Amino acid sequence: MYKFRVRTLTLDKLGMDLKDSTVSPSVKFPKYTQVGEIFSEIDTSENIFLPDFAIKGYYNDEEILERRCFYIDPDGYDTLYVTGMVRSSEADINQKLSHKFEIPGARKIYYWEDLKTGYLVQVLQPNRK
């Protein structure tokens, strides 16, 4: 919905580390890397409630880790989505719309907002329960 804002969102706002697993050992992306630099843009012209950006890889949130981590890999079976949406503090609007941004079956990982936009981070893990 707010693709132009999500594009410039930095990775440190996603609530997890992102690592490039195509190199060994995997390398953490710098926190000021922007979503639009490494994620693929999703066409939302048919439905404004679709996520704005996505990337394939593997999500890991084991308790032994100090922080959630998404390992970016084009052959990965998990997909990380970032969606720009109406801020949750705008309660009257958000109560009617927020559920429409959620992907069925996806895990809501993190939500963050600035003064203008809310950002929803979700992971879809189709082969996991």
Residues 58, 100, 113, 34: is their CA dihedral positive or negative? positive
Q: Give the pairing type, strands 69-72 and 17-20.
A: parallel
CB 100 within 8 A of CB 44: no
What is the percent of the chain where pLDDT is above 70?
86
Task: Note the pLDDT tens digit of each residue in 12-42.
Answer: 999 888 998 887 777 889 989 999 999 999 9
Q: Picking from 56-60, 71-75, 88-92, 106-110, which range would have the lowest pLDDT averaged per residue? A: 88-92
**Amino acid in the structure at residue 51:** P
Does the structure show a pLDDT above 60 at 91?
no
Task: Note the pLDDT tens digit of each residue in 36-87.
Answer: 999 999 998 888 889 999 999 999 876 555 678 899 999 999 999 999 887 7
Q: Give the pairing type, strands 107-113 and 78-85.
A: unpaired
Task: Give me 123's structure tokens.
Answer: 């992971």
Residue tagged 């693929």 (tokens): 40
**Local confidence band at 105 (pLDDT 50, 70, 90 cut-offs):** confident
Angle at 18 between CA 119 and CA 8, to 5 degrees: 40
Does the structure show a pLDDT above 80 at 118?
yes
Q: Which residue has the higher pLDDT, 11 or 4?
A: 11
CB 36 within 8 A of CB 52: no
φ, ψ for residue 85, nearest 5 deg: -145, 175
